[in-house]
């Protein structure tokens, strides 16, 4: 049976969404091609009509996830201190800690990106640098933008490593307070 081009695009989209959620929840390397395809109700052999390799799928997932992060964290580029604080509060939240599959890919997939081939790392770098440029423009400082991006990602990683919600909240609140203090020191246009 031959499927339409539209069916193939829908299947590819299902695979991307399902694989991204799985990767952010359990790691990308933990599930094989057969498991990724089984999650959307197809056999492993069908995978190769959508991607040439699992590495290619990972690269596309990283590009999509970081594009979503860029949209969420910089929006239309119009940022003021209120919008920035709201963004930070959402990022450094317990719901983000507890639901990695619904949030930013960097805290959960950063180590896997670092171990990936050059193509994946270059794709990740391109999107992270775009996010950095956006924040540097908003904050008026490239250095502060890198520091805030790094602290946000690191705070999520540390909070997720901890066993008790009380200590997790303390990590998030401390990071939010320090970032807010630094931002308050910077004049907005």
pLDDT score for 188: 54
Q: What does the buried/exposed string (b/e) look like for 127-161 if buried means 16 or more CB atoms within 10 Å of the residue's CB?
A: bbeebbebbbebbeeeebbeebbebbbebbbbbee
pLDDT score of 186 more than 60: yes
At 134-183, the pLDDT tens digits run 888 888 899 999 999 999 999 999 999 999 999 999 999 999 999 999 98
> How many whole angstroms separate alpha carbon 13 and alpha carbon 110?
23
- Which of the given ranges, 9-13, 50-54, 105-109, 157-161, has the highest pLDDT on average? 157-161
pLDDT score for 185: 84
CB 61 within 8 A of CB 23: yes
pTM of the model: 0.84
Q: What domains are defined for the chain?
A: 53-184 (1.10.357.10)
Dihedral angle sign, alpha carbons of residues 19, 20, 24, 27: positive
* DSSP code, position 88: H
pLDDT score for 2: 66
> How many whole angstroms separate alpha carbon 132 and alpha carbon 144?
10
pLDDT score of 31 more than 80: yes
pLDDT score for 82: 73
Q: What's the pLDDT band for 114 if we cut at 50, 70, 90?
A: very high
pLDDT score for 108: 93
């Amino acid at each position: 049976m031959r499927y339409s081009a539209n069916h193939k695009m829908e299947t590819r989209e299902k695979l991307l969404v399902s694989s991204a959620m799985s990767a952010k929840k359990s790691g990308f390397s933990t599930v094989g091609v057969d498991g990724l395809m089984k999650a959307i109700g197809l056999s492993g052999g069908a995978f190769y009509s959508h991607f040439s390799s699992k590495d290619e799928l990972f690269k596309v997932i990283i590009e999509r996830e970081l594009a979503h992060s860029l949209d969420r964290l910089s929006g239309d580029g119009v940022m003021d201190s209120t919008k920035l604080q709201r963004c930070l509060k959402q990022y450094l939240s317990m719901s983000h800690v507890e639901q990695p599959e619904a949030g930013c890919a960097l805290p959960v997939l950063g180590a896997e990106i670092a171990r990936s081939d050059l193509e994946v790392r270059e794709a990740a770098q391109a999107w992270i640098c775009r996010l950095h440029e956006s924040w540097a423009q908003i904050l008026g400082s490239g250095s502060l933008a890198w520091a805030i991006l790094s602290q946000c990602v690191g705070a999520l990683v540390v909070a997720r490593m901890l066993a008790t919600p009380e200590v997790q909240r303390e990590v998030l609140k401390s990071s939010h307070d320090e970032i807010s203090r630094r931002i308050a020191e910077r004049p907005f246009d």
